[in-house]
Amino acid sequence: MAGQVAIVTGSSSGIGRAIAETLASRKVSVIVNSSKSPDQGLVVADSLQGASYFQGSVTDDNFGPDIVQFALRRYGRLDILVNNAGTTRIISHADLEGATTEIWREIFEVNVFGAWSIIRAASAALEDNGGGQILNITSLAGIRQTGSSIPYATSKAALNHLTQLLAVALAPKIRVNAVAPGLVDTAWTKDWHDIRNNYSKTAPLQRSATTRDVADSALQIMENPYLTGTILCLDGGMSLKR
């Protein structure tokens, strides 16, 4: 992977940052991105050899073309796209009134349409240099009847299916895979004490995931040239208990 170039959306913190750091450790030049945290994004980029920072939201119409052109101007190539940017709302699955159409649109704009937009913009560049790869960060919520809300879980199910559709449509030049974590310890989830305790009691491995767990699994997928269309459920065995 040394010498390759990667875009990692939503990488100023959490899972995205861990993936960016892991790729940089393999001498991949990483484009760090965030929509609302430019100071933190610049800190991450400055800490990684060969990295740079691109500010922007995946929901902006020009984001995909702009970040791809940024990569090509700065590095002359693009090999890896990691769609990590995401959003959610915490809404009980039984609260149908709370899951408004506005919330559905907000979540799908980021989690599905944002990923689709940048994939469309990046596909031609990824095909060059012998082919590239796309890794989508989805969720156990897209596989099992769980998650912070029904709109969130449905958006991740859509991204899982998009992963497999594109694995066929873009083969053989571009590989497309996904990591679907269960509960991960991030700034998002740091106050979810009851949820974390319940997860630790229920999951066979008796803990939630770390961002490093997700990044390590992402790297294993990206380093395997024969893997495409795979959705890796990274949940400490939780799905076996449901």
The CB density around residue 47, as the number of other CB atoms within 10 Å, is 13
Three-state secondary-structure class, residue 127: helix
Q: What CA–CA distance (Å, rounded) separates 188 from 210? A: 12
Q: Is the dihedral of CA 236, 239, 240, 242 positive or negative?
A: positive
**Nearest 5°: phi and psi at 231?**
-115, 105
Beta carbons of 121 and 65 less than 8 angstroms apart:
yes
Work out whether strand 29-34 and strand 132-137 pair parallel, antiparallel, or are unpaired: unpaired
Listing from the earlier edge strand, what are the strands of the sheet with 52-55? Answer: 52-55, 29-34, 5-8, 80-83, 132-137, 174-181, 231-234
Tokens of 49: 């050899």
**Residues with a known catalytic role:** 152
